[in-house]
Amino acid sequence: MPEKQNVEWKSKWKDEYLEWICGFANAQGGKIYIGCDDNGNVTGLKNTHKLLEDIPNKIRNAMNIVVDVNLLGDNGKEYIEIIVPPYPVAISCKGVYYYRSGSTMQTLSGLELESFILRKRGASWDNMPLPGFTIDDIDDELVKKFKGLAVNKGRIDKSVLLESKEDLMEKLCLTNAGCYTNAAMLLFSKNPDKWQLGAYTKIGFFETDADLRYQDEIHGSILEQIDKIIEVLHLKYMKAIISYEGIQRIERYFVPDDALREALLNALCHKQYESCTPIQISVYEDRLYIANCGKLPENWTVENLMSKHASKPYNPAIANAFYLAGFIESWGRGIEKICQACEEDGSPAPVYTVHPGDIMIRFTASKDRVLRIFADKVTDRVTDRVTDRVTESEQELLTLLIEDPAYTYVTLAKKLGVSRKTVSLKIKSLKGKGILQRIGSDTKGYWKINNE
């Protein structure tokens, strides 16, 4: 029988196995068999009676815990079974904390150790008190905005609109030990950076993995970051493929809006803010990554994440506020909604990558959504048909109208660096050649290039 997550086979006893026992105790428990080869075949021990006395004493002295140590036999060969139960409190082995993850043993330190001890105590970082953060640091406008969102969603009673912000913090369970919590700060402070490093979102556009072209940072309350992030992504980082149904303008980005919003909310809600590392959004021409310092619930895999699962937020107080504001559901359907939005939009399914210290989601553009490739093909086709009939400056104007058929005279003049009158003359010339026509009104219509 091969080794698995909570079973280890060892040919003889070594004191270093105390670390494995500690790791089992801190995780889901497990068993160690002494006197067996790597396949679980019994090889036997000669000193079993001494080990039956020594092992419990060494475990007690190193960890101050009690485990079952049993003598077993098989075909006249004796071996030892050590049964380690899962402990509800954090266990250290000679002052060092170990944790069994999969089939490996991890040494916990720093952020991971702090987070682990909090979880063992039934606490979470977002519920920890933040001394020095007072009611005066809670922004009245943010409180008003939250109340409006929650009442409109029907998740709190209208009477809350008349309550003080002190009462609201109590009802949201954002107080602890007489102080307001980290969650209260992230949700209702205009400037969380004053209290917590890395409480913002970083966005960058990459030509290649090594070529960052430009970047932005989105700061402020996490209640407001979501809309700011999407606005900046749409205005500066992601160009939409524009089409028309009649005179209705249709904009389609390569990441569906519902999927993008849900993925960003997941990152804001489940991030390990104590890591002091911002959420990082990397945008390329044909793909987008959202990475944040976070971790899956214990014993979860990517398969668990992608299948139906219970809601287990890393920051329950933040998740509760997001739910009341109508940002998220409370049933662990975030991943399902992201995948469903991509499927309905005809976009590739997102791909999740889970590292020891972070979780990343990748959205990939379908071929018809990569704007530069799409625009180049259209430009080439238009050029082939009309190049012998237009001037170079008229071709520049046509290229801009391929980018966005709704560009106004003012916008075209600004982009071409010419006067509005010059643009008007070029358009008049192109219309006279039968190459350009106006569809709809001057204010709500668009330009159509007749390239046939």
DSSP codes joined into one string, 217-234 = EE-S-HHHHHHHHHHHII
Amino acid at 95: G
According to the model, what pLDDT value does residue 367 have?
80
According to the model, what pLDDT value does residue 398 have?
86
Q: Is the pLDDT of residue 143 over 90?
A: yes
Q: Give the neighbor-by-neighbor strand order of the sheet with 7-10.
A: 7-10, 30-34, 77-84, 68-74
If we measure between CA atoms, which residue out of 209, 206, 208, 256 comes closest to residue 230? Answer: 256
Query: What distance in Å separates the CA atoms of residue 276 and residue 111, rounded to the nearest whole number?
Result: 10
Task: Say if CB 311 and CB 332 are below 8 A apart.
Answer: yes
pLDDT band for 379, please (50, 70, 90 cuts).
very low
Q: Is the pLDDT of residue 3 over 60?
A: no
Residue 263: enclosing H or E segment and its boundaries? Answer: helix 257-270
Chain segment 213-250, per-residue pLDDT in tens: 889 999 999 999 999 999 999 888 888 777 666 667 67
pLDDT band for 375, please (50, 70, 90 cuts).
very low
pLDDT band for 377, please (50, 70, 90 cuts).
very low
DSSP 273-311: GGG---EEEEE-SSEEEEEES--PSTT--HHHHHS----
Q: Is the pLDDT of residue 390 over 90?
A: no
- Alpha carbon distances (Å) from 273 to 30, 198, 207, 215, 279: 32, 7, 29, 21, 9
Query: What distance in Å separates the CA atoms of residue 180 and residue 430, rounded to the nearest whole number?
Result: 65
Q: Is the pLDDT of residue 374 over 50?
A: no
**Average pLDDT for residues 360-377, to the nearest whole number?**
70
Query: What distance in Å separates the CA atoms of residue 406 and residue 318, rounded to the nearest whole number?
Result: 41
Query: What distance in Å separates the CA atoms of residue 306 and residue 336, rounded to the nearest whole number?
Result: 7
Tokens matching residue 18 = 């105390």
Task: Say if CB 398 and CB 430 are below 8 A apart.
Answer: yes
Pairwise pLDDT comparison (205 vs 372), residue with the higher score: 205
According to the model, what pLDDT value does residue 395 have?
85
According to the model, what pLDDT value does residue 371 have?
59
User: What percentage of the chain exceeds 90 in pLDDT?
Assistant: 58
What length is written for the chain? 452
Chain segment 148-163, per-residue pLDDT in tens: 999 999 999 999 889 9
According to the model, what pLDDT value does residue 376 have?
44
Which residue is associated with the tokens 């899956």? 296
**Average pLDDT for residues 56-62, to the nearest whole number?**
95
**Average pLDDT for residues 413-421, to the nearest whole number?**
90
**Three-state secondary structure call for residue 404:** coil
Query: What distance in Å separates the CA atoms of residue 270 and residue 365, rounded to the nearest whole number?
Result: 25
If we measure between CA atoms, which residue out of 210, 206, 208, 227 comes closest to residue 218? Answer: 227
pLDDT band for 387, please (50, 70, 90 cuts).
low
Query: What distance in Å separates the CA atoms of residue 18 and residue 34, rounded to the nearest whole number?
Result: 13
* Cβ-proximal residues to 44 (8 Å cutoff; 6+ apart), any chain: 35, 77, 78, 79
**Among 98-112, 169-183, 414-428, which is the least confidently predicted range?**
98-112
Mean pLDDT of the chain: 87
Pairwise pLDDT comparison (443 vs 70), residue with the higher score: 70
**Three-state secondary structure call for residue 319:** helix
**Three-state secondary structure call for residue 216:** strand
Amino acid at 141: E
User: What percentage of the chain exceeds 70 in pLDDT?
Assistant: 90
| Entry pTM | 0.70
**Average pLDDT for residues 243-268, to the nearest whole number?**
85
Which residue is associated with the tokens 């006249």? 76
**Average pLDDT for residues 85-107, to the nearest whole number?**
90
DSSP lists the bridge partners of residue 92 as: 97
Q: Is the pLDDT of residue 290 over 60?
A: yes
Query: What distance in Å separates the CA atoms of residue 182 and residue 126, rounded to the nearest whole number?
Result: 5
Pairwise pLDDT comparison (367 vs 127), residue with the higher score: 127
- Return the half-sphere exposure (C-beta side, CA atoms, 13 A cut-off) of residue 293: 15
Q: Is the pLDDT of residue 452 over 80?
A: no
Per DSSP, the chain holds a count of helices (H) and strands (E) of 15, 19
**Among 84-88, 109-113, 193-197, 351-355, which is the least confidently predicted range?**
109-113
- Return the half-sphere exposure (C-beta side, CA atoms, 13 A cut-off) of residue 283: 23
**Among 55-59, 405-409, 419-423, which is the least confidently predicted range?**
405-409
According to the model, what pLDDT value does residue 373 have?
36
Task: Say if CB 446 and CB 406 are below 8 A apart.
Answer: yes
Pairwise pLDDT comparison (388 vs 86), residue with the higher score: 86
User: Is beta strand 279-283 parallel, antiparallel or unpaired with respect to 201-208?
Assistant: parallel
Question: CA 15, 20, 25, 31: dihedral to nearest 10 degrees?
Answer: -100
**Average pLDDT for residues 183-201, to the nearest whole number?**
96
According to the model, what pLDDT value does residue 378 have?
44
- Alpha carbon distances (Å) from 327 to 71, 224, 268, 419, 420: 56, 11, 11, 45, 44
* Cβ-proximal residues to 340 (8 Å cutoff; 6+ apart), any chain: none
Residue 422: enclosing H or E segment and its boundaries? Answer: helix 420-432
Angle subtended at Cα 119 by Cα 273 and Cα 66, rounded to the nearest 5 degrees: 150
Tokens matching residue 197 = 């490093």
